[in-house]
Amino acid sequence: MSSFKSASELSETQRKALRALLLALADTKLFLGFHYGEWTFGTPALEACIAACSMSQDEFGHLRLLHACLTTQFSEQPQELLERRALSTFANVPSLDKPLQSWSEFVAVNLLTDGAMTALLSALQRSAFEPVANFVDKMVAEEKHHVRNAQGWFRSLATANAQTQAALEDSCRRVLVATLEWLGPSEQEMTSALTDAGILNTTWSQVRQKFLDWVGPLSEEQRLDIGLEKQNGHWLARRALDFSAWNPMTRRCAATQPDEKLLYHLRGSKNAIFKLGEA
């Protein structure tokens, strides 16, 4: 299969699909970085705050790489991607739209939302699109620590006591639905174009299934009901989502968007006068 050195070698369909996917991944990493950073304080243990801070740095590092790729390959402007976009255009996982209310919600996002991004990054390894293939292995290597942190806390909360177990189960159910909404339907015209071109190393259906087949056994191991069930050897959501109104650009089923106050804080709007050199 041929490889692509730049976006100019892609067809219009492939270019549009890859830009949308990278932007959705970047938006999710932007909000993951923000929430992990917010939890530098208030964690149940000192070491957990260091880990949260470290994961935040990883996510912002990945965001810079993705924004650089979108800038050089798709003529996007980083300031536009972050500062001047309408809230309704953000394509992050909806579980990150609002502040994370509890430690169990942090763990659920760390496990499920970040875990789904790792499944996608794995599908971009050895990508035929060279600018992405060049940086994705580094991201996957760093994400291993995120997965380990999430699994460690998932197991700890699941076994500590009935209260932590119930809180974790509740948080995971809600975050799982939001994450599956972002993943979208099994078959998508845009992602199929990427698979056919070798830009994704697998089908989108397999990306979803790989994620579910990783999460399912973890919940089964801890006897937690997070809304999954096993059928014919594979894990599926017990209640299938209705994707009839799903928007492939925002990866949302409804007109939801990030919280305005959260984005104001994240963008540093309060300190806009100190953004030197910006128009």
Q: Which residues bind other proteins (CB under 8 A)?
A: 45-48, 50-51, 53-55, 145, 148-149, 151-153, 155-156
Phi, psi of 12 (to 5 degrees): -60, -40
Amino acid letter for position 201: N
Pick between residue 149 and residue 250 the one whose CB is nearest to other proteins: 149
Q: Cβ of residue 220: shortest distance to other proteins, in angstroms?
A: 18
Q: Cβ of residue 52: shortest distance to other proteins, in angstroms?
A: 9
Pick between residue 53 and residue 241 the one whose CB is nearest to other proteins: 53
The two tokens of residue 26 are 């970047």
Pick between residue 55 and residue 136 the one whose CB is nearest to other proteins: 55
Could you tell me if 30 and 82 are in contact, meaning their C-beta atoms sit under 8 angstroms apart? yes
Q: Cβ of residue 152: shortest distance to other proteins, in angstroms?
A: 4
Pick between residue 49 and residue 133 the one whose CB is nearest to other proteins: 49
Q: Cβ of residue 54: shortest distance to other proteins, in angstroms?
A: 4
Shortest CA distance to 179 belongs to which of 103, 220, 118, 88? 118
CA 4 to CA 197: how far, in whole Å? 9
Q: Cβ of residue 209: shortest distance to other proteins, in angstroms?
A: 25
Pick between residue 148 and residue 239 the one whose CB is nearest to other proteins: 148
Residue pointed to by tokens 């639905």: 177
Q: Cβ of residue 142: shortest distance to other proteins, in angstroms?
A: 10
Integer Rg of the chain from CA: 18
For the chain, give the number of residues: 279
Pick between residue 117 and residue 158 the one whose CB is nearest to other proteins: 158
**237 sits in which H/E element:** strand 234-237
DSSP-derived 3-state class of residue 69: helix
Q: Cβ of residue 240: shortest distance to other proteins, in angstroms?
A: 32
Distance of CA 181 to the CA centre of its chain: 11
Pick between residue 153 and residue 204 the one whose CB is nearest to other proteins: 153
Pairing of strands 228-231, 234-237: antiparallel
Phi, psi of 278 (to 5 degrees): -100, 145
